[in-house]
Amino acid sequence: MKLSQIFQSLKARNSPTRVTLQQYGTLFATYLGPQWPRVCFMALLLIGSIMLDLLGPQIIRAFIDTIQSNRSMQVLSIIALFYLGVALGSRLVAAFATYFSEDVGWNATNRLRADLTRHCLSLDRSFHAAHTPGELLERVDSNVETLAYFFSQFVIRILGSGILMLGILVLIACENIWFGAILGAYLIMSNIIFFYVQQRATSIYQLHWQAEAELSGFWGELFHGLEDIAASGAGRYIMRRYFHLQRRENSTEIKSIVFWAGFECTGLILDVLSLLIVLILSASLFVQDMISLGTLVLLLTYTTQLLNHALDIAEQLGSLQQATASIERINEIYHTQSCVQDGLGVTFPTGALALTFQGVSFSYEAEQTVLHDISFQLAAGEVVGLIGRTGSGKTTLMRLLMRFYDPTSGSVYLGGHDLRQAHLDDLRARIGLVTQEVQLFQGTLRDNLTFFADTIPDQRILEAIEQLGMSTWYERLPEGLDTELSSDGGGLSAGEAQLLACIRVFLQDPQLIILDEATSRLDPATEKALTQATQRLIAGRTALVIAHRLSTVEHVDHIMVLDDGRILEYNTRATLACDPTSYYSKLLRMTNPKEMLA
Ligand SMILES: Nc1ncnc2c1ncn2[C@@H]1O[C@H](COP(=O)(O)OP(=O)(O)OP(=O)(O)O)[C@@H](O)[C@H]1O
């Protein structure tokens, strides 16, 4: 079963704030199931370590009773050596068990993290607009990390402590049935108290993590926009917001720490009380000659072990609460279904693809329509230049074509197929997108051009650079394809980043190109290189060029002028240029057309 199905079943059966035993079971089965040989080996080690732990107090009893009876040094030395062996063996086995449990836990959470990342990638833009990168990082990383502890420690320690406690209770009951019965009743009662106290913990942890996520989101935004913040002098506002978020994070953290301290304190009080009962009981049995001194020590040692493990179980139940809070936060993401559903798949024609928008309207939010009844056709291999003031809907049109969103009404057809019928991956592989904000990654130029795919040979990259007429630009790079770039732009200007994006798209060899021209001022050499590269890139392909300069649309077949989400005019460039009443021809006659393009 896929993780999304598990989490969707959580939603279907329960409110999002409840995770049932069966659902924990499904989670374990999905992520621990494939590692069953390791889990079995871990369980064997666990049982071995428990048996050795139970053996220790029996050897001490034998030692004390031997001192009291025959006092043979030889027997005492053998018992002492045996005890040493058992103690060492127990530690060794416990260390192996811990190693395997960690390994199993991390494997499980790595798979969970990968599934979650894949799911986040499949979600549409409205989801990503509503969640900051920092918040998602918190969920995909920190919340999943909590589950690593849960997967590894919870299994080994709850199971281990549970079995050990049962073993100790049986052994104590064999010595004295009343002793065993009283301790058993006490343990059940104390665990019930702990369980109810911890029920409250989930909401406290969730509030804390939400505050942490918001703080992480803030850091993400801050580091992303450092330049703008410094330039606009927004430092004081940023610090105010930081203090506000930090205060919230601190207060929720203090609440969870206080809760945890209160919980540990309750455990300690219950411990002291139970030890008192045991001391009185065992002393009275010893005074009445009902048990030997060795048995007295045995009972006390077992009781201490029992209480330690009871506290351990209570703590593990605490980790269960943390894990539950994590599962619920991860669960929330899994509930989010992408508004853009994958299509069944179509067979696109080869070569350039025809494009049709038919009565397309779109709104990001219910009450605000951004595109109104957009209809136009572009034959295969034709290029349309899209112009319009800022906010007129150019980028939105591009987003619909990439299926980042679906139209509210109407349809978009590519190569004769409704976009909603195509597989998303297939569709996006056929469209090359060069945006204003080119995302670079920490790595070499080669990595950035190939998206870290080592199947593309250098020769092909160099050919692409040459075919796009960018050899002069490339030769200026200090270390060629090995030039290191960083994710924040790495010293590349906006124009150079677009040059890089052109090579990326050229390597992808798409059937339709969307080009959102850089608005920033480019130096003449880069502008010339970029114009040449884009012209070569779109040659023989259908293309939609969002233009911020009239020179960009000098060679296009059609011009579309968008105004407030409506097509103001759409015709061949030649027709519009010859029509003195057209918006485009007015732009051509203007001395500073940028004003009307901004
Ligand atoms: N994610 C979003 N959520 C809500 N509204 C949005 C979103 N993105 C854009 N808009 C709104 O949609 C309208 C069209 O925006 P769009 O970005 O498509 O315009 P544009 O012509 O590309 O502008 P620019 O030239 O400045 O990039 C604007 O009113 C904008 O505020």
The domain locations on the chain are 3-335, 382-392+429-556+566-597
Question: What pLDDT is attached to residue 511?
Answer: 92
Fold for the domain defined by 3-335: ABC transporter transmembrane region fold (1.20.1560)
Instruction: Give the 3-state secondary structure percentages of the chain, helix then strand then coil, rounded to 5.
Output: 65, 10, 20
Question: Residue length, the chain?
Answer: 598
Query: Which protein residue has the closest C-alpha to ligand 1 atom 29?
Result: 391
Side chain identity at 112, as an amino acid letter?
Answer: L
**Nearest-atom index, ligand 1, CA of 393:** 18
User: Which residues on neighbouring strands pair with residue 563, listed in sequence order?
Assistant: 566
Residue whose Cα lies nearest atom 26 of ligand 1: it is 390
If residue 244 lies in a helix (H) or strand (E), which one and from where to where? Answer: helix 235-287
| Cα(157)–Cα(165) distance, integer angstroms | 11
Token reading at 41: 């080996």
- Probe ligand 1: pick from 396, 514, 549, 594, max atoms within 8 Å of CB? 396
CA distances 318 to 153, 166, 435, Å, are 12, 21, 48
Inter-residue contact 407 to 356 (CB < 8 Å): no
Alpha carbons 251 and 259: distance in angstroms, whole number = 12
Cα–Cα distance for residue pair 598/596, rounded to 1 Å: 6
Q: How far is CA 308 from CA 158, 165, 320, 409, in A?
A: 12, 10, 18, 65
- Is residue 102 classed exposed, middle or buried when 0-12, 13-18 and 19+ CB atoms within 10 A define those classes? middle
Q: Measured in angstroms, how far is the CA atom of residue 435 from the centroid of ligand 1?
A: 14
CA of 565 to the centre of ligand 1 (A): 10
Ligand 1 atom at minimal distance to the Cα of residue 399: 18
For a ligand 1 pocket test, name from 370, 397, 399, 401 the mutation site with the most ligand atoms within 8 angstroms of its C-beta: 370
| Contact residues for 56 (Cβ-Cβ < 8 A; gap 6+) | 83, 86, 87, 90, 301
Phi and psi angles of residue 419, each rounded to the nearest 5 degrees, phi first? -55, -30
Q: Atom 4 (ligand 1): residue with closest C-alpha?
A: 364
- Return d(Cα 103, Cα 42) in angstroms, integer: 10
| CA-closest residue to ligand 1 atom 28 | 391
Q: Work out the angle at residue 431's Cα, subtended by the Cα atoms of residues 428 and 437, and round it to the nearest 5 degrees.
A: 90
Nearest residue by C-alpha to atom 10 in ligand 1: 364
Residue found under tokens 């009283």? 182
Q: Spell out which residues line ligand 1, taking CB within 6 angstroms.
A: 129, 364-365, 370, 388, 390-396
Query: How many other CB atoms are there within 10 angstroms of residue 264's CB atom?
Result: 14
pLDDT of residue 303: 84
Residue 257 is predicted with a pLDDT of: 85
Give the pLDDT confidence of 228-287 residue by residue, as tens digits: 676 666 777 788 888 888 998 899 889 888 877 877 787 778 778 877 888 888 888 888
Ligand 1 pocket: which of 386, 394, 433 to mutate (most atoms within 8 A of CB): 394
> What are the tokens at 400?
């619909």
User: Alpha helices of 354-453 — where are they, by DSSP H?
Assistant: 394-401, 424-430, 445-450
- Residue 341 CA, ligand 1 centroid: distance in Å: 23
State the Cα–Cα distance between residues 131 and 16, nearest whole angstrom.
18
* CATH match of 382-392+429-556+566-597 with 3.40.50.300: yes
CA 169 to centroid of ligand 1, rounded, Å: 69
Note the pLDDT of residue 409: 94
Give the residue whose CA is nearest to atom 3 of ligand 1.
364
How many other C-beta atoms can be found within 10 angstroms of the C-beta atom of residue 503?
24
Residue-level pLDDT at 4: 45
Angstrom distance (rounded) from CA 472 to CA 527: 13
φ, ψ for residue 200, nearest 5 deg:
-75, -20
Give the residue, by CA position, lying nearest to ligand 1 atom 12. 370
The DSSP H or E segment spanning 443 is strand 443-444
Whole-angstrom distance, CA of residue 389 vs CA of residue 371: 14
Here the tokens at position 338 are 């992408």
pTM for this prediction: 0.66
Of ligand 1's listed atoms, the one at least distance from the Cα of 398 is 18
pLDDT in tens, the chain (598 residues): 444 444 444 343 334 446 677 777 777 888 888 888 988 888 788 788 878 888 888 898 888 888 888 777 888 889 999 999 999 998 899 888 888 888 888 888 888 888 888 888 888 777 777 777 777 777 777 778 777 777 776 766 777 778 888 888 888 888 888 888 888 888 787 777 767 766 667 678 778 878 887 887 788 777 777 766 766 667 777 888 888 889 988 998 898 888 778 777 877 787 788 778 888 888 888 888 888 888 888 888 888 888 877 777 777 776 777 778 778 877 777 777 777 888 898 999 998 999 999 999 999 887 789 999 999 999 999 999 999 888 899 999 999 999 989 999 999 999 999 999 999 989 998 999 888 777 778 788 888 888 877 788 888 888 888 887 778 878 888 888 888 877 666 667 777 788 888 888 888 889 999 988 766 566 777 777 778 888 888 888 999 999 887 877 888 899 999 999 999 999 999 999 998 999 888 888 876 666 556 5
Dist CA 466 CA 591 (whole Å): 36
Nearest in space to 53 (alpha carbons), one of 211, 130, 153, 164: 164
For ligand 1, pick from 124, 132, 361, 395 the residue to mutate: most ligand atoms within 8 Å of CB: 395
393 CA distance to ligand 1 middle (Å): 6
CA of 371 to the centre of ligand 1 (A): 10
Structure confidence at residue 118 (pLDDT): 85
Measured in angstroms, how far is the CA atom of residue 583 from the centroid of ligand 1? 21
**Among the atoms of ligand 1, which is closest to the Cα of residue 388?**
21
Cα–ligand 1 centroid distance for 213 (angstroms)? 27
- Cα(391) to ligand 1 centroid in Å equals 5
**What's the confidence (pLDDT) of residue 566?**
94
Closest residue by CA, ligand 1 atom 16: 393
For a mutational test of ligand 1's pocket, the pick from 339, 365, 371, 392, i.e. the residue with the most ligand atoms closer than 8 A to its C-beta, is 392
d(CA 6, CA 19): 11
Q: How far is the CA of 567 from the centre of ligand 1 (A)?
A: 15
Cα of 128 vs centre of ligand 1, distance in Å, is: 15
Testing ligand 1's pocket by substitution, the residue of 340, 390, 546, 563 carrying the most ligand atoms inside 8 A of its CB is 390
